[in-house]
Structure 1
Amino acid sequence: MDRKESLRNFEVLFWQLSRKVEYLWKDIYAKTFPGSQSRIMYLLEQNGPLKMSELANSLHITAGAVTTASNILIENGYISRLRNEQDRRVVHLDLTDKGSKILKELQNEGREMMNLVFDDISETELETIQKVYKEATINIDKLQKRDQ
């Protein structure tokens, strides 16, 4: 098999695996946080407090959709509204302790699932996969810098 054919086969397998793993993770999160709620929780965990408009822009949804989803998260105690002391009109959303705790539980469930998915892969193979992904990430970063 030549390199072109190997890369094409890899591409097919990569996309199949990526989609399947994404669906597994989505299923884990969707049980607790359906729809936009899971993405809001993820962004708040990754970035800290964010304004509604920042969430809407990042998620490519309307401010109204963010409001609807965030109201449910607030009612359930997963996030809270924080008012800006300098400008009371500005409202940030942030995770509560309860929200952080449930995210950690979901992440642990996801990690257990990933352990099952990759259970048959040896330590050496796992190290090779990590090396390949790291090198590919570096190459993507180089391409993005070149295009700027």
Structure 2
Amino acid sequence: MDERKHLIYEFTRSFRYLVRTVRQDFAVEFEGYIPYNEFTVLRALEDDRTLRVSDVARRLNATNSYVTLTSEKLVQKGYIIRERSDTDRRTVYLTLTEAGINLVKQMDEIVYAYYDKTFGNISNEEMNSVINILKKFKPIERDIS
């Protein structure tokens, strides 16, 4: 295997390991809260508080049906409200409730503490380097924030 192929293999293996480990860790960290996939929908609503299902899907790089299914669970739990548009019945809006806002704040603290601990041995300069490298990927040309 030539060096470039080996490096690509090692990079993708390390990246997959990181993603898998973070998901597993969040399952533990979020015990007693909501699953990570539901949290991401709430988080997508955090800044605007009300968005169309299609806008949430775009932010998450997900399908409308995924957001619809996930949002139904969040409606049942009282974290969001789903409302159809008065002018276009095909358009559905999702709005964070106060309970949803509070939950996002609590879970954001858990996420920040986890990442702070996990990446504690990485300097700001190293972190900026990794961010800049990740932004060079063609599949990640969209906003990743």
- TM bucket (normalised to shorter chain) is 0.5 to 0.7
Contact 2:82-2:94 within 8 A present in 1 as well: yes
**Structure 1 pair 11–134 and aligned structure 2 pair: CA distance change class (3 A):** same
Aligned to 1:8: 9
C-alpha separation in 1, matches of 2:107 and 2:4? 39
- The one-letter code of the counterpart of 2:128 is E
Contact 2:52-2:91 within 8 A present in 1 as well: no
**CA-atom RMSD in angstroms:** 3.7
1:51-108 residue CA offsets vs partner (Å, 9 max, x unmatched): 5xx98x5353886x754x244222xxx2234464447897643101231121022112
How many correspondences in the alignment? 135
Aligned to 1:58: 64
Instruction: Specify which structure has the higher proportion of helix.
Output: 1
C-alpha separation in 1, matches of 2:51 and 2:41? 11
Name the SS for the 2:12 alignment partner: helix
Contact 2:45-2:51 within 8 A present in 1 as well: yes
Could you tell me the percent identity over the aligned residues? 22
Name the SS for the 2:122 alignment partner: coil
Q: TM-score, normalised by structure 2?
A: 0.66
- The one-letter code of the counterpart of 2:23 is E
**Structure 1 pair 40–2 and aligned structure 2 pair: CA distance change class (3 A):** closer
**Structure 1 pair 61–133 and aligned structure 2 pair: CA distance change class (3 A):** closer
Which structure 2 residues correspond to residues 1-148 of structure 1 after superposition, within 5 A? 2-29=3-30, 31-34=32-35, 37-38=38-39, 40-45=41-46, 48-50=50-52, 58-60=64-66, 67=72, 69-74=73-78, 78-82=79-83, 84-86=85-87, 92-136=93-137, 139-140=138-139
Q: TM-score, normalised by structure 1?
A: 0.65
